[in-house]
Structure 1
Amino acid sequence: MALRTISAKSAAALDQELMSTGAFSIDQLMELAGLSVSQAVFKLQPLTAGKRILIACGPGNNGGDGLVAARHLFHYGYHPTIYYPKQPRNELYQRLRKQLEDLRVPFTDDFHTAIKSTDHVVDAIFGFSFSGEVREPFPKVIEALRETEVPVLAVDAPSSWGVDEGPPAEGPGKGFMPQALISLTAPKPLVKWFKGRHFLGGRFLSPEMAEKYGLDVPEYEGLDQVVEVEVEGQKL
C-alpha cells in the first residue's frame, strides 16, 4: 500500500490537535518519536554491524527526538555520541540531556572528527518545520553528511530540504541524499524526491484522527513502532 503525504501546514495542525483534543503531552509525542527512530536504527544498523552511532541534534523538537533515540539506543547496547551545538534552555530538553549524562553518553563539539569514527549517523537537525537559511554551525555539518560514506538516517526530513519542495537547488544541502528516512506520524511531500529506504514511525494515531487528516495507517508487525513503506508518487 502506497501512503499519502501530509503538508507541513497540516502536520503542524495535527501536532497541535494531538496535544489538545488528543490529550498527548509533548513529552509523550517526543518519546514515541524517539523510540521509533531508535527502532529504525536497529533495523538499519544491527549491533553486529557496528555499535557506534553519531546523532546530530538541532535546537528544536527534531533534536529532542534524537536525544530520546540516543537513550533507547544506549539501552539496546549501542554506543551513541551526541552533537548538540545549540541547546535550548527549555526544561524538557535539559531533562533529556541530563538523562543521557547520567548514562555517561558523550557529547562532542567536533562533528567532523566524530563522523570519521562512527558506524551510523542520525540526522536530527531540522524537521518538517524548517524553512529559510541554514545557520551556523550547521552548514558545514550538512555538507559533511552529504559527503560522508557512513550511512545516514534522516529524522522526518533530510536537513535543509523543503518539506513541500524537496531538496534545495543550492546551499549546503544540495545533493544531500541520506540512505534512509524515517517519517514521523505521516510522510511529508518531500518523500517524492527521496530515493533511499523509507520508514514510518508513529503507532499512536486514532482511526478518527487518521481519517480526519486523510492519512493511511499501515500494518505494524508485532511490537514494532516502525514499518518500512513506500509513498504515493514516490519512485522506488
Structure 2
Amino acid sequence: MNGQMDAFLTHVTLISPCSKADAAAIETELLRDYRFGQQQLIEIWGHACAIAIAKAFPLSSLSKKQPTVLVVCGPEQNGSIGLVCARHLRIFEYEPTIFYPKRSPHSLHQDFTVQCEKMDIPFLSYLPTEVQLINDAYNLVIDAILGPETDHTDVREPYAGILVTLKQIKIPIASLDVPSGWDADEASTDGINPDVLISLTAPKKCAASFPGKHFLAGRFLPYDIQKKYELNLPEYPGTDCFIEL
C-alpha cells in the first residue's frame, strides 16, 4: 500500500489525499464559515462531474448508438450530486435515465428531483438486470450511490443488491467521489470497480489504489482551506473546473 501511495502522490504532483474526517470538516467550514449553501455545493460538484464525464466519454465516441447514461442515485448527498450531474448531462445532449430507489425526504433533494423530472429525464422504478442493461444499450453507468461518509461495512438493501449487479456488468462505470462499497480512507475489494473515478474537492485516501482514469472536479475551494488541510491541489488548466490526474 505504501508503494501505491507513493506512486499516487508522484503522479498527481504531491496532492495530499483527504481523509474522511477532513472531508467532513472541510464541508462544515464551507457551510459555516465561508457561507456556502448546501444547494450551491451540490450544484458545483454535480456540474463539474457532468463536464468530467463528457470529457471521459465524449458524444463523438458514442456516435454509433444513442448516448444513453444510467445514473444510479443513493439517498444521501452523493445521490443529489448524481441528480445534478444527470440534469447537466441532459443539457449537454446525453440521454440520462435515473434509478433513485429511496428518495430523500429533505426538501433540497426533492428540488433536485423535480428539476430532473421537469427536464423529462425518466426515472426507473427498478434497476435493470445485467442482461437488461446490455439489451437496453446503456453506454455508461454513473455510480452516485454511497458517499465517503457511508459505513462500507453496513451496506443494506436495496444498495447491497445494486452493488452486486454493478459488479457484474461490462458497461463502463464512473463513480462520483468514492466507488460505492469502498471505505474513503482505504481501498476495498468489496465494492464496485469503476473505469472512471471523479474525486470531489480533493482525492480521498482510497483513490491512491484506483487504477483507472481519475479526475478531480470542483474548482472552488478557498486557498486558506487548501493551506489549512495541506491538500496541495494541482493547478487547473485555463478556466476548467476539472483536471485529469
TM-score norm. by structure 1 comes to 0.91
- Supply the AA of the counterpart residue of 1:150: I
Match of 2:216 among 195, 200, 211: 200
1:217 aligns with 2:229: no
Contact 2:101 / 2:126 at 8 angstroms: preserved in 1?
A: no
* CA apart distance, 1:140: 2.0
Residue 144 of structure 1 corresponds to 165
Residue 146 of structure 2 corresponds to 126
Residue 165 of structure 1 corresponds to 186
- Supply the AA of the counterpart residue of 1:186: A
Residue 233 of structure 1 corresponds to none
Where structure 2 has 5 or more consecutive residues not aligned to the other structure, the ranges are 1-12
Distance 2:235 2:221 in 1: 13
Residue 153 of structure 1 corresponds to 174
Distance 1:151 1:61 in 2: 23
Superposed CA deviations along residues 94-129 of structure 1, whole A, max 9, x for unmatched, are 111111111110001222246332101110000110
Distance 2:163 2:196 in 1: 15
Residue 15 of structure 2 corresponds to 3
Superposed CA deviations along residues 70-91 of structure 1, whole A, max 9, x for unmatched, are 1100000000000100101110
Match of 1:52 among 65, 68, 85: 68
* CA apart distance, 1:31: 0.3
Contact 1:153 / 1:179 at 8 angstroms: preserved in 2?
A: yes
1:179 aligns with 2:195: yes
Distance 1:2 1:121 in 2: 30
Query: How much identity, in percent, do the aligned residues show?
Result: 39
Residue 234 of structure 1 corresponds to none
Superposed CA deviations along residues 191-212 of structure 1, whole A, max 9, x for unmatched, are 1221111110120011111000
TM-score norm. by structure 2 comes to 0.88
Residue 133 of structure 2 corresponds to 115
Match of 1:38 among 42, 50, 53: 50
Contact 2:215 / 2:244 at 8 angstroms: preserved in 1?
A: yes
Contact 1:53 / 1:119 at 8 angstroms: preserved in 2?
A: yes
Q: CA RMSD in A?
A: 1.3
Where structure 1 has 5 or more consecutive residues not aligned to the other structure, the ranges are 230-236
Contact 2:199 / 2:216 at 8 angstroms: preserved in 1?
A: yes
Contact 1:54 / 1:115 at 8 angstroms: preserved in 2?
A: no
The number of residues matched between the two structures is 224
